[in-house]
Amino acid sequence: MNMIVCVKQVIDPEAPPASFKVDSSTNKAMPPTGISPVIDPYGEYAVEAALKVKDAQGGKITAISLGTNLLREIV
């Protein structure tokens, strides 16, 4: 069985609140410096479920994401 899992990178939910800053000119949150992005929690669940199916029935898992190549290192 071939499976596709959609994942996305997010700011680490365990990042301390003090690490977030707001850009006063745009009023948008800026990514915290020194904290690497992670796979979103639901994406992690999907990857884990796909791995269980693969272990039980065989096959291939393909993870897809839009954005930067940073996620390639995380996966």
Q: pLDDT by residue for the chain (75 residues), tens digit each?
A: 899 999 988 888 888 888 888 989 999 888 788 888 889 999 999 999 999 999 999 999 999 988 766 666 666
Domain ranges of the chain: 2-74
- End-to-end Cα distance, the chain: 20
SS3 label, residue 20? coil
How far is Cα 11 from Cα 2, in angstroms, rounded to an integer?
Answer: 29
pLDDT for position 2: 94
Tokens found for residue 51: 């791995």
SS3 label, residue 48? helix
Residues 25, 12 contacting (CB under 8 angstroms): no
pLDDT for position 18: 86
pLDDT for position 65: 87
pLDDT for position 12: 87
Tokens found for residue 58: 């065989």
